[in-house]
């Protein structure tokens, strides 16, 4: 088998062929750890999208007619190919997205988890048969939808690419992936590997384009379903446009995830959990904790422990030994976060830990990288827009409250509802938190990352649609049910 390339020569997969896009305005791809340009990619245009949709529409007819077992065997080959190429694929992720190599290996492992879950389709796909009355039978069967679109994010360019591909393809659909422009090499490498499993031309498509391509894809009459993971404003816009056109939509947005620490919590475990949640992947996870709410007199002691651990974090190139936090994904992301922190400073916020001028390891090689060190902000009014927005970086806002009820109020004081966690040794407190907090994913003394075989939730502006991702929810999303009544 061919291993993945670190610098793919062509980015767009259309009708089974790797071709440059027709766009003249190249997408510049940079290494987040060094700021150096890796390559230029020619983006897809609306005309390329039209070609891709036509090819996918043709391919769908044959692919949907193939037996489920045949499609499952393709997924088995995909899994074997990804496993064989894990290390090269992980290195491509780190080069392109910036996360630690171990974090990138973990991303590939999660991608394999999603593939394995989709391999259960034969156990879930069966229909229902009912004898209505003598000589009259009814049966319900599942059928694929058609041409589907997935708009994938920059933080998990391989995992989400594989996640959407696995379920869309095993259920018999054709899938067009519009990948993030910020780290297109990793998604390209993943699709190159998946394509080796023997997919017919046009069944799986990869486009690298800009907003005009996304708008065209989600409005096209031949596209019947749209999935996306992005910021909440973009997710809402995609949902509204696609749903208005009668399409099935699952649109995952942003978050402002609270971590509540009760007075009886094990503070060492709480501090370690906060660090892992908030600074893992430089805070670029939709489930990352970014608002810490401490109840009562343990505030100072907890803050001291968090700062002590954060000060041990080594910021630098994710490929280097000893580095424990990489850069944010792009120069634009860094500037956006720094701008929000400057605004917080104007408002009188206290920087308990200020990572704005962090010196990454690696010397001159990394001095132009997109680094922000671990940052802790206190004293900012929770109602201010800077505190309420999703920064998507290594920033924690610390708050002290005097009661559990006040903690719940602050935890729920957000338009989002993706994740929420509590650290406590009381089962009663944990149960009350689980019941009262408004979030689709809840952690108790734990980070609330759902396993691949469990549906991921999301409330409020964190999710738009009816059917979530993960678990067996994609089976419902990617299929329609047909009722057949027969008399013999």
Please give the helix or strand (H or E) that residue 116 lies within, else none: helix 101-118
Helix axes 68-84, 86-97, angle to 10 degrees: 70
How far is Cα 332 from Cα 73, in angstroms, rounded to an integer? 42
How far is Cα 461 from Cα 231, in angstroms, rounded to an integer? 9
Decide if 286 is catalytic. yes
Q: Are 150 and 227 in contact (CB under 8 A)?
A: yes
Q: Are 164 and 190 in contact (CB under 8 A)?
A: no
Of the CA atoms within 13 Å of residue 339, those in its CB half-sphere come to: 10
E strand residue ranges, 305-448: 350-353, 375-378, 395-401, 416-417, 419-423, 441-444
Q: Which of 89, 98, 91 is nearest to 30 (CA)?
A: 98
Q: Which of 176, 174, 152, 154 is nearest to 163 (CA)?
A: 152
E strand residue ranges, 20-146: 27-30, 37-41, 128-133, 136-144
Close Cβ partners of 314 (under 8 Å, ≥ 6 residues apart): 322, 323, 324, 325, 361
Please give the helix or strand (H or E) that residue 17 lies within, else none: strand 17-19
End-to-end CA distance of the chain: 52
Per annotation, catalytic residue among 148, 228, 286, 470? 286
CA angle 189, 9, 151 (to 5 degrees): 45
Backbone angles phi, psi at 34, to 5 degrees: -125, -20
Please give the helix or strand (H or E) that residue 70 lies within, else none: helix 68-84
Backbone angles phi, psi at 447, to 5 degrees: -75, 130
Q: Which of 452, 283, 285 is nearest to 374 (CA)?
A: 283
Of the CA atoms within 13 Å of residue 272, those in its CB half-sphere come to: 7
The one-character DSSP state at 84 is H
Query: Which residues are tagged catalytic?
Result: 286
């Amino acid at each position: 088998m061919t291993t993945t390339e670190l610098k793919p020569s062509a980015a767009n997969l259309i009708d089974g062929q790797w071709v440059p896009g027709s766009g003249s305005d190249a997408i510049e791809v940079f290494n987040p750890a060094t700021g150096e340009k890796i390559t230029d990619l020619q983006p897809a245009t609306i005309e390329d999208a039209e070609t891709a949709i036509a090819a996918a529409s043709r391919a769908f007819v044959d692919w949907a007619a193939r037996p489920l077992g045949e499609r499952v065997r393709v997924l088995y080959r995909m899994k074997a190919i990804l496993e064989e190429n894990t290390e090269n694929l992980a290195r491509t992720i780190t080069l392109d997205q910036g996360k630690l190599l171990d974090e990138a290996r973990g991303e590939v492992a999660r991608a394999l988890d999603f593939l394995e879950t989709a391999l259960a389709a034969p156990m879930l796909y069966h229909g229902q048969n009912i004898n209505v009355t003598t000589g009259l039978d009814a049966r319900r069967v599942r059928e694929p939808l058609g041409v589907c679109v997935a708009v994938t994010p920059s933080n998990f360019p391989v995992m989400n690419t594989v996640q959407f591909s696995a379920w869309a393809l095993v259920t018999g659909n054709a899938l067009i992936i519009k990948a993030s422009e910020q780290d297109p090499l990793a998604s390209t490498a993943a699709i190159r590997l998946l394509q080796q499993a023997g997919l017919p031309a046009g069944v799986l498509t990869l486009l690298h384009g800009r907003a005009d391509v996304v708008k065209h894809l989600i409005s096209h009459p031949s596209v019947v379903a749209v999935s996306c993971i992005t910021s909440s404003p973009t997710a809402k816009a995609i949902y509204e446009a696609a749903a208005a056109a009668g399409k099935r939509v699952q649109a995952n947005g942003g978050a402002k995830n609270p971590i509540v620490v009760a007075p009886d919590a094990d503070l060492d475990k709480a501090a370690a959990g906060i660090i892992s949640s908030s600074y893992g992947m430089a805070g670029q996870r939709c489930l990352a904790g970014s608002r810490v709410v401490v109840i009562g007199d343990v505030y100072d002691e907890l803050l001291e422990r968090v700062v002590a651990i954060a000060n041990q974090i080594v910021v630098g190139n994710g490929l280097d030994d000893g580095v424990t936090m990489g850069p944010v994904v792009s120069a634009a992301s860094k500037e956006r976060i720094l701008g929000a922190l400057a605004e917080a400073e104007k408002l009188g916020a206290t920087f308990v830990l200020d990572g704005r001028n962090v010196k990454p390891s690696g010397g001159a090689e990394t001095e132009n990288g997109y680094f922000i060190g671990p940052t802790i902000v206190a004293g900012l009014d929770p109602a201010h827009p800077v505190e309420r927005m999703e920064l998507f970086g290594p920033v924690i806002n610390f708050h002290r409250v005097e009661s559990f009820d006040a903690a719940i109020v602050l935890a729920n004081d957000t338009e989002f509802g993706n994740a929420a966690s509590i650290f406590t040794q009381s089962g009663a407190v944990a149960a009350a938190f689980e019941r009262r907090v408004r979030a689709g994913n809840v952690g108790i003394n734990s980070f609330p990352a759902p396993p691949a075989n469990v549906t991921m939730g999301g409330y409020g502006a964190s999710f738009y649609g009816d059917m979530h991702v993960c678990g067996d929810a994609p089976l419902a999303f990617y299929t329609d049910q047909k009722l057949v009544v027969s008399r013999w």
